[in-house]
Chain A
Amino acid sequence: SQKIEQNSEALNIQEGKTATLTCNYTNYSPAYLQWYRQDPGRGPVFLLLIRENEKEKRKERLKVTFDTTLKQSLFHITASQPADSATYLCALPYSGSARQLTFGSGTQLTVLP
């Protein structure tokens, strides 16, 4: 199975700045990687999926990169807002393209007004 490390447990940034979160994994290269947002006491909400043959994916203010050589994904939130404050989880399939997911421990982002 995968071992996933997300950079810091907590990240504080000023409103309007770009938040960058890191997800590193070991072992095999997954067919895809996902990012989720989780608010306290709530289930994860899917944000973005990036496939192994994609370098970058964008959705509104979100951008995800996927470097299979470095075994790393970066998750960016541009023009951050206090409403972006949450825990962000990266997730990879157990193996190959399996639908069972292994989650990182998450990075708690706080955007300060």
Chain B
Amino acid sequence: GAVVSQHPSRVICKSGTSVKIECRSLDFQATTMFWYRQFPKQSLMLMATSNEGSKATYEQGVEKDKFLINHASLTLSTLTVTSAHPEDSSFYICSASARGGYSGNTIYFGEGSWLTVV
């Protein structure tokens, strides 16, 4: 079946530095990718929607200059957390939507990336 891969699965960075998380669709072309954040014991919250070749659409309250999203190809989207702070520590999950098909049943999630800012 379709696979979405995230890398790294875990990362620790120092406060003030930037960290990049990659999301790849391994066996299908993803016209749209979604980035979610999940704090412990809470549900997933959508951060942004990225469409291949265009600027990402950010949800209300998400700083676009802090969470840089690039979707340069149909198989790769990246999320860069800039000037990271300890409160950015969270579980970041991407999902990808394939071309065509009913929009509701072609969404695949990655395994997530744990970010710890120290």
Chain A contact residue count (CB 8 A cutoff):
25
Q: Which of A31-57 contact B (CB under 8 A)?
A: 31-32, 34, 36, 41-46, 49, 51
A77 at the interface (CB under 8 A from B): no
Give the interface of B toward A (CB within 8 A).
6, 32, 34, 42-46, 49, 91, 93, 95, 97, 103-105, 107-112, 114
CB distance from A53 to the nearest CB of B (A): 12
Query: Within the complex, which residue of B43, B93, B103 is in contact with A43, where a contact is CB–CB below 8 Å?
Result: B93
- The answer to whether B104 touches A97, judged by C-beta atoms less than 8 angstroms apart, is yes
A89 at the interface (CB under 8 A from B): yes
Query: What is the CA–CA distance of A46 and B104 in the complex, to the nearest angstrom?
Result: 11
CB distance from A99 to the nearest CB of B (A): 5
- The answer to whether A101 touches B46, judged by C-beta atoms less than 8 angstroms apart, is yes
Closest 9 CB pairs of A and B: A32-B104, A43-B109, A103-B43, A43-B112, A105-B43, A103-B44, A43-B111, A99-B103, A49-B105
With A89-B43, A105-B42 known as contacts, the answer to whether A99 contacts B108 (CB < 8 A) is: no
